[in-house]
Structure 1
Amino acid sequence: MKKILTVCLLLLSALFGKAQSTEDYIAEHVEHAQELMREHQLPASIILAVAIHESAAGKSKIARYLNNHFGVKGANSNTEIRSSYRDYPTVDSSYNHFVSFLHSRSYFEVLFDKYDQYDYKNWARGIQRGGYAHSRSWASQVIGLIKKYELYLYDERPDGYEEKPDPIVEAPAKKSRTAKSTKRSKSSSAKTYTVKKGDNLNKLAERLGTTAASLMQKNGLKSSALQPGQKLKL
């Protein structure tokens, strides 16, 4: 009888451990993350990756006792643990508050105008620059989670969307005629801008210090309508 009981406990333990996997966590919360993405144009991959990072995929103490999946501090009414983190009635409400928190701070709010829902790398770096976390590697860790679990697949990218390559950091070149020549050729090369969702040609021209007519002429545009992902010569 004891052996049977032990086997049952081991099976239950195994099942419980499986339920706590990161893959299962993603499956459980991806639908709500995508709903928030469609409403706010914030990548679902960012929402999920930050939650995974801050809550250990739902296994952290504040996630289990306080439904806090984003490491937000504040008062709580929980009597089971003592914590400086705020509590939420549900996990979804923790997700909702994360997005509203970003909207409520000017240094995060600008990101909604600057980046679209597909540019998870710049979102991660922008949130870090805004002071969301003290760790200098926070953005890299969030981006790493997105790549590891392919969370960008949930961002509903349009067909043919090309992810921007990471900037290549090169060692400073020695001062020479060759270096000067290279510098001149780089500066003379045409600059481009990739259209983001919500861009307006007139506002875009004003932001870039030019005119809509000039942009249309340079790019051979017959209409002022723009498409996300479209590249414009400046």
Structure 2
Amino acid sequence: MTSKKMFRRGWFCALLGILLFISSTAFSQRYATNYVNKYKPVAIRIMNEKGIPASVILGIAMLESGMGTSKNARLLYNHFGIVGRNSLHKKKGVAYRSRYKEFANAEASFNYFANMVTRKKWFPTLKGNVEYKLWLKHMNHAGYSSAGHEWVKRVTSMINRYKLYKLDEQMAYTGS
């Protein structure tokens, strides 16, 4: 092969790689937008009922569920990586075993997560506070994720990348 052909092939491969990267980025952006639009009302409702920032709720759910694409999110409606019982072994055609809790629907998963957070000893000092970094710090110290500081960085990245902190401006929690 001549050097001219190799040069053209190299440019073609580089261009193809760039196009694939752009399309995959657009694809993941579309997943994120769809996920946020679908679950934003649930997160805002929970924020206003319980005092947990919607950014924290959605950021964790997006990370833990792969924006709703993980097997646990699709088969168990578990968007938070909550460990517990499920009935996957009883379902025909499902060759997937999981140690994660099964929920009736995604909203039930969001509600369970919120109730779990409200039972933490540090919750009363934070409820109604929209500082998502403070929430993630307390959750990390309480052992919410085994990934520790890396988990905090990833959730923070989700919150910032998709500007989820703007949802917290709708906080109407008054405490009770």
Give the alignment's TM-score, normalised by structure 1: 0.56
Alpha-carbon displacement from aligned partner over 1:92-138 (angstroms, at most 9, x marks no partner)? 0000000111123xxx3423423533111100111111000011211
Equivalent in the alignment of 1:89: 104
Equivalent in the alignment of 1:143: 156
Equivalent in the alignment of 2:19: none
Equivalent in the alignment of 1:132: 144
Code of the residue aligned with 1:148 in structure 2: it is: R
Runs (4+) off by over 3 Å: 17-20, 114-117
Alignment counterpart, residue 51 of structure 1, candidates 34, 55, 61: 61
Higher helix content, 1 or 2: 2
Tell me: higher relative CO, structure 1 or 2? Use CA pairs within 8 A at least 6 residues apart: 2
What displacement does 1:82 show? 1.4
Equivalent in the alignment of 2:132: 120
**Structure number with larger C-alpha Rg:** 1
Equivalent in the alignment of 2:37: 27
> Identity of aligned pairs, percent?
32
Count of residues paired in the alignment: 141
> 8 Å contact 1:20–1:59 — kept in the other structure?
no
| Counterparts of 1:19 and 1:129, CA distance in 2 | 31
| Counterparts of 1:120 and 1:112, CA distance in 2 | 15
Runs of at least 5 residues in structure 1 that lack an aligned partner in the other structure: 1-16, 159-196, 199-234
Secondary structure in 2 matching 1:155: helix
| Counterparts of 2:170 and 2:46, CA distance in 1 | 15
- Structure 1 vs Structure 2 CA RMSD: 2.1
| Counterparts of 1:123 and 1:65, CA distance in 2 | 29
Give the alignment's TM-score, normalised by structure 2: 0.74
